[in-house]
Amino acid sequence: MSAINYDYISMPKIDLHCHLDGSLSLSFLANTLNLKDLDIHKIQAPTDCQSLAEYLTCFDLPVSALQEKEHIRDAVIDVVRQAAGENVRYMEIRFAPALSVNGHLDLQDVVQSAIYGCQKAFDKYGVFTNLILCAMRHHSLAQNLLVARCAREFLGYGVCALDLAGDEAGHPNEEFASLFEEARRLSLPFTIHSGECGSERNIALALAYGAKRIGHGIAAIKDHSLLTACRKANIGFELCPTSNFQTKAVTDTTSYPLRAFLDAGVLATVNTDNRTVSDTTLTKEYEFALEHLQIKKEDLRTLYQNSVEISFADDSVKHQLLYLMP
């Protein structure tokens, strides 16, 4: 059996909340877009970023690099390559396929290209990778229903779940009851970005809709009964510390809820969100948590086990992941 290793640098890692467009390397973007001088300020959140809405402006350029089959395939490989370099052994990459639909690519083309990228990346780096398809808050119900049905079409064949992403404050969860009613009808697992902008009501609605996980979920700390309900329902929380500070989901380390979530028995995890936009890695996230968020080295095993438990991986993959860090 493998020796237990609590060294945050070399330990096996799991990244459950990683956006494809927000994690493309500078070299990939420069080569794909044929840019000699890539303005880093267009793709990295400013140090004085004031909100999620401002943070999201960094995604326009990366999305433009995801408009061809081979670029989508290679983008997935690029992100897995980065993760493999810090011993990530399983990851769920999420992206909005509708943003790559154009005159020569439909949803199925886009998703198949990304799945092919996952397969090629596994062959090269040995990282188990699944895809989460994102519906977008600013898109119509018709557009988002097509994404949900596409996710169901490829469920178990490289796609593992549905998500809802975008400007949470501008389009709260109340607007998406019909989308998640359809997801339930399709028996499609889903996570929902909720509570990233201070709204515990969005988290409560995500639970009511049937979400298995919550993207970020920072606001749950404001409602003890809600947090208790999440614990009892085994709801997973996908925390992304660097991003959460950049978007002003929290403003000081003492109020960051990771320690409180773990102490309450909530299935909290640590993830990257956007490797390039947030200029981060999973190793950096663990280091930050250890130095500033009251996390101890012995908590790293709990965080890893939580990630395995709430992942959308199949049981055989989960068994292999647990063996890596018993």
Active site positions, annotated: 196
Q: What strand order describes the sheet that includes 191-194?
A: 191-194, 213-216, 236-239, 267-270
Asked if residue 74 lies in contact with residue 119, where contact means CB atoms within 8 angstroms, the answer is: no
Structure tokens at 292: 């500033």
Instruction: Map residue 88 onto helix, strand or coil.
Output: strand
Asked if residue 43 lies in contact with residue 21, where contact means CB atoms within 8 angstroms, the answer is: no
Structure tokens at 65: 């690099």
- How far apart CA 275 and CA 248 sit, in angstroms, is 18
Residue located via tokens 């208790």: 228
Count of residues making up the chain: 326
What is the CB neighbour count within 10 angstroms for residue 67?
Answer: 17
What is the CB neighbour count within 10 angstroms for residue 317?
Answer: 16
Q: What strand order describes the sheet that includes 159-165?
A: 13-19, 88-95, 128-136, 159-165
Instruction: Map residue 111 onto helix, strand or coil.
Output: helix
Residue partners of 312: CB distance under 8 A and separation at least 6: 92, 130, 132, 160, 161, 189, 212
Structure tokens at 48: 């004085």
Question: Which of 159, 132, 245, 156 lies closest to 196 in space, CA to CA?
Answer: 245
Residue located via tokens 């978007």: 247
